[in-house]
Amino acid sequence: MVVVGVDESDTAGDALALARLLAGPLGATVLGVHVHPYGEAQSLLDDEKHSLVMRELAESVRGHMLALGFPVEDRTLRLVADRSPAAGLQRTAESSEVVLIALGSSRRSGVGRVFPGGTAESLLTGAPCPVAVAPRAFSAPAEGVSVIGCAFDEREESGAALLWASELATATQSQLRLLAVHVPLPGGAVAVPVGVPLVSVNATLRRALGGKLADTENELRDGAISVESMLLEGDAAEELRRQSSTLDLLVVGSRAYGPARAVLLGSVSSSLLRTAECPVIVVPRPG
C-alpha cells in the first residue's frame, strides 16, 4: 500500500500523482489519508452527529481532490484523527502493508519546497518506510519512470537506498544512475606519504570512492540492471540538486544515527527536499 497525504492544498494533487506513478511498480494500491484534528469532538457528540461530521469532511476532501483531477473513493480514502498531520500519517504507515508514504511540498514553503518544521520534515524524523516528496506542480511523465538517480557513498544507509532504488529500477525497467560526490577536505591538498610517490589526502579519498563506485556499477550490471555512474566533486547537496533536473526520481539514504528502520533527515537529504527538481525519496536506515 502507498499512503498519500491529502489535504485542502493544491500540492495534495502532486502527492497523488507521485503515488500513482510508483504504486504500480511497487505492486501496491493507493490509500489517501486525510489527518484531521476533530478526534476530541467524538466525545462531545452523539454517534449520529459525529458520523455526519465525518461524512461531510470526507465529501469535502473528495470534492477538493476531484477539482484537482484526482478523484478518491470511499475505499481509497481514510480519515485519521490527530492534531499532528505527521503523527497521523506515521501511525497509519506503521502497518507492515505500507511500502511508501507520498507527500506534496509544504504550502508555506516559499522559495523552497519543504518548509522547515512542516508535515514532510516532521514525518521524515522517524517514518517507518520510505518517504517520497513531490515538487510543486509535479506531473508524472507520460512514459513512466525512465531514469532513477541514487546518491552513493560508503555508508550502510547508502546501501539501503541503493537496494531500494535498484529494485525499483528493475520493476520499471529504468536506467539506474549512481551519483557519488567527493567532498574535498579543507587542507586535503597537503601531500602525505602513501608509498612512493607522495599523494594528497583528497586524491586518495577520491580514488577510493571512485573504485567502490566502479565496483558497485559492475555488480549491478551483472544483475541485468541498466546502470551508469558519475563521480562528482563539490558540495554534495548542490551537486545532487544539479543532477536532479535530468532524473525522474532521486533516491537518498537517511542520516547515520537514530533508530533502525526509520527515516531520519540529514543535511543533504534535508537540502534536497527543498531544492531538487524531481521527486526525492528518502529510504529508512536498515534494521
Domain final position from 89, 122, 140: 140
Do 124 and 27 share a structural domain? Answer: yes
For residue 257, the domain's CATH number is 3.40.50.620
Domain of residue 276, residue span: 141-287
For 17-38, how does the pLDDT look when each residue is reduced to its tens digit (9 = 90+)?
999 999 999 999 999 898 888 7
Residue 183 confidence (pLDDT): 87
Single residue among 140, 169, 198 that ends a domain in this structure? 140
pTM of the model: 0.85
Q: What grid cell was written down for 161?
A: 537506498
Same domain, 213 and 259: yes
Domain boundary among 91, 118, 140: 140
Percent of the chain whose pLDDT exceeds 90: 33
Say whether both 113 and 179 belong to one domain: no
Q: Which of 76, 177, 90 is nearest to 103 (CA)?
A: 90
Closest CA to 137 of 21, 7, 275, 10: 10
102 & 220 share domain = no
The three cell numbers of residue 132 are 517520497
Which cell is 232 given?
Answer: 562528482
Please check whether residues 76 and 129 belong to one and the same domain: yes
Q: DSSP string spanning 49-97?
A: HHHHHHHHHHHHHHHHHHHTT----GGGEEEEE-S-HHHHHHHHHTSTT
Whether 149 has a pLDDT exceeding 90, the answer reads yes
Domain check: are 277 and 158 in the same one?
yes
112 and 170, same domain (yes or no): no
Residue 145 and residue 287 in one domain: yes
Instruction: Read off the pLDDT of residues 47-94 as tens digits, 9 standing for 90 and up.
Output: 777 788 888 888 888 888 888 777 777 678 888 888 888 888 888 888
Claim to verify: residue 200 and residue 246 sit in the same structural domain = yes
Give the three cell numbers for residue 155.
555508508
Asked if the model's pLDDT at residue 112 lies above 50, the reply is: no
Cα separation, 284 vs 101, in Å, equals: 12
Same domain, 66 and 183: no
Tens digits of residue pLDDT in 218-235 = 988 877 789 999 999 999
Same domain? 275 vs 184: yes
Number of domains in the chain: 2
Q: Same domain, yes or no, for 89 and 182?
A: no
